[in-house]
Amino acid sequence: MAGDLSVTYLAASSTALDNPHDLKLSPDGRYLYVADVGNNRVAILDPETLELLGEFGAGHQSGTHDIESMNRLQQDGGPGGSGSSAESSA
């Protein structure tokens, strides 16, 4: 048939996410926060390579994470705050 359409999906990241729900870019553009509902965490990714840099919330907060409220919690020194692996290794 003329004009058949073919779709190929390419993996953009090797980071294993299970039901990503919400995302937010940090104000400085260095981190992409992804609510990873199936893994009960917020994953911190490099926004250019999508490499996993760190995570927080796993084991502490099950279910859907709201990135905006988790980001405020992090800024206040909560989970993933000044001691998060992404910020301490960057």
pLDDT at 87: 41
Q: What is the pLDDT of residues 43-57, one digit of tens each?
A: 999 998 899 999 987
Asked if the structure places residue 36 within a domain, the reply is yes
Domain with 69, as residue range(s), is 22-79
DSSP character string of 21-87: EEEEE-TTSS-EEEEEGGGTEEEEE-TTT--EEEEE-TTT--S---HHHHHHHHHTTSTTSTT-HHH
Is the entire prediction scored with pTM above 0.85? Answer: no
Asked if the structure places residue 45 within a domain, the reply is yes
Stronger pLDDT, 20 or 84, i.e. the higher one: 20
pLDDT at 70: 55
Give how many domains the chain has, as a whole number: 1
